Structure 1
Amino acid sequence: MSALPPLSKTLRFREPSVIPGFGLTFGLTVTWLSVIVLIPLAAMILYASRLGFDQFIAILTAQRTLNALKLSFGIAFAAAIFNVIFGLIVAWALTRYEFPGRRIADAIVDIPFALPTAVAGIALATLYSPQGWIGQFLAPLGIQVTFTPLGILVALIFVGIPFVVRTVQPVLKDLDPELELAAASLGASRWQVIRKVIAPTLLPAILTGFALAFARAVGEYGSVIFIAGNLPNISEIAPLLIVIRLEEFRYADATAIAVIMLFVAFIMLLIINRLQRWTEARS
């Protein structure tokens, strides 16, 4: 039986590096990742494992829990789709066109990053209330945004669109417009240029932006509770239900809901990651 290779030969940089200390940096990375991410998640899963299978299923299949989970994941998915479409348009305009106020518009995109979520929720609720600047024009049309699932969608779009714009924008800057001109000069139509030149390059970045926007939307809390109304079985999101269960000292219920949210989000992000790798391999 052949001996195993030394550990120092199996753990090394992918590319040669003049910076020493791989063992130290690798150990710090694993320790930091464990303390910040792995240990808290493991503790939550361990606590949930103490529940009996029947109790766990009973908590998850409760009508209020199912409605909250459907609302959270469904609207988060819809908001991420919306952000991909309009975030791509915004990134394209900021990258390919010169217009007055372009730098200001580019800075405005980052406001949801810096704005506290509670402030964003209060601002959106004020704007879209029936007496608000925007809501007063929607009310005569019979459209109510505040205290409805539509308000949740508006809030999730607001907090998620910068992730798509800032992910796609650098790729667009690196995409040489001369490639598009060359394709057009060879007889390609606009649709063929988009489908065969632009889309293959942007697709990995678009999927990454979608994943980031979706992940942010699933866990969003502060901006939603001020505009959603938080009505059980109507406009109550899963993160809010977790907080309510904790306030009721129903820790088992809160942990079970958190675990299923973690599992579903992980599966969806894994699928998106695989799609991203597949598109990168094809391109």
Structure 2
Amino acid sequence: MASRQNTNNAVLPGFRLTLGYTLVYLSLIVLIPLSAVFIKTAGGGWDHFIASVSSPRVLASFRLSFGASLVAAAINTVFGLLLAWSLVRYRFPGRKLVDSLIDLPFALPTAVAGIALTAIYAPKGWVGSLAAEHGIRIAFTPWGVLIALIFIGLPFVVRTVQPVLEDLEVELEEAAASLGAKRWQTFRHVLFPALLPALLTGFALAFARAVGEYGSVIFIAGNIPLVSEIAPLMIITKLEQFDYSGATGIATVMLAASFVLLFVINSLQAWSARRIGRKA
């Protein structure tokens, strides 16, 4: 009886009230707006939905948005891990400055980021002019979109992986080395399994941010039909044409595709965490 009483006292009071507020808040902020997107799309009819999302321009924007977002998230996962590793494991001049600059895409207005990237990678910019000498054009092409998505997604990977690296004990690596493991074997069998859930989380966050990015991409993309138009731009175009059901149709496809991919990534993350727990 005493044990049961202690268990009940250990639970914070107000659970039902807190849960009620949580559900109401979640419904107002997330569920109701997302439901409105699906309802508005359904109001236009199935034929209009198919016509809106299957036009050549829209399909090309889907390929660019999702393809560039996947590539950018993958690149950020690799280089974000390297950057987080350098910040955690090494001490070098300017380390705190580099650590602060990582958060710059968080604080920088997206329009400012887009203008800055365009100025650098345009044919007359610092980097763009050097690339133009070799016949390479970066700005106003899909390459420019990819660079913008890498820029805005890198902090998500670094800030997700960095705390995990800080919690990993160096003694684990030293123990693996004392047992004869090489550096690659130590990384593969000791470090990578512990970092995998954080890497998947960082990948998912970077991808989710990249798919919906508009401000920093719109300037450097050039918005050339069938070449460098992103899906958010097509939504804006539909809204300017007062085709609200068409805009919500494109948004529905983006929402569904993003949800499926994030669900797969979260499932892999949970599976990886369970596997690490069983090994531990």
- Asked whether the two chains share a fold, i.e. TM above 0.5, the reply is yes
Within the alignment, does 1:226 sit opposite 2:219 as a pair? yes
Determine the C-alpha separation between the residues in 2 that align with 1:28 and 1:239.
Answer: 32
- Partner AA of 1:250 in structure 2: D
1:102 aligned to 2:95?
A: yes
Map 1:15-34; keep pairs closer than 5 Å: 17=10, 19-34=12-27
**CA distances 1:43-79 after superposition (whole Å, capped 9, x unpaired):** 1111111232222212211111111111100000000
Q: Which runs of no fewer than 5 residues in structure 1 stay unpaired?
A: 1-13
1:161 aligns with 2:154: yes
Cross-structure match for 1:268 = 261
Equivalent residue, structure 1, for 2:210: 217
Answer yes or no: is 1:187 the counterpart of 2:187: no
Deviation at 1:268, TM superposition (A): 0.3
| Higher helix fraction (1 or 2) | 2
Q: Could you tell me how far apart the structure 2 residues matched to 1:135 and 1:15 are?
A: 65
Q: Which residue in the other structure is 1:10 paired with?
A: none
CA separation in 1, counterparts of 2:18 and 2:273?
Answer: 29
2:30 maps to 1:48: no
- Identity in percent: 59
**Aligned partners of 2:92, 2:56: CA distance in 1, in Å?**
51
Give the letter for the 1:228 counterpart. A
Aligned residue number for residue 3 of structure 2: none
Shift of 1:17: 4.0
| Aligned-pair CA distance for 1:15 | 10
Identify the residue that residue 9 of structure 1 maps to in structure 2. Answer: none
- Distance in structure 1 (CA, Å) of the matches to 2:38 and 2:242: 18
Shift in alpha-carbon separation, 1:101–1:82, aligned structure 2, 3 A: same
1:125 aligns with 2:125: no
Instruction: Name 1:116's counterpart in structure 2.
Output: 109
Task: Count how many residue pairs are aligned between Structure 1 and Structure 2.
Answer: 270
Structure 2 contact 48–246 (Cα < 8 Å) conserved:
no
1:228-258 Cα shifts (integer Å, max 9, x gaps)? 0001110000000100110011112101100
- From 228, 232, 240, the equivalent of 2:233 is 240
SS at match of 2:139: coil
Could you say what the CA RMSD is over the residues aligned between the two structures, in angstroms?
1.3
Per-residue CA deviation, residues 181-221 of structure 1 (Å, 9 max, x unaligned), is: 10010011112101110000000000000000000000000
| Residues 15, 75 of structure 1: alpha-carbon distance in 2 compared, 3 angstrom cutoff | farther
- What's the TM-score once normalised by structure 2's chain length? 0.94
Contact 2:117 2:220 in 1 (8 A): yes
1:18, distance to aligned residue in structure 2 (A)? 5.1
Alignment match, 2:50: 57
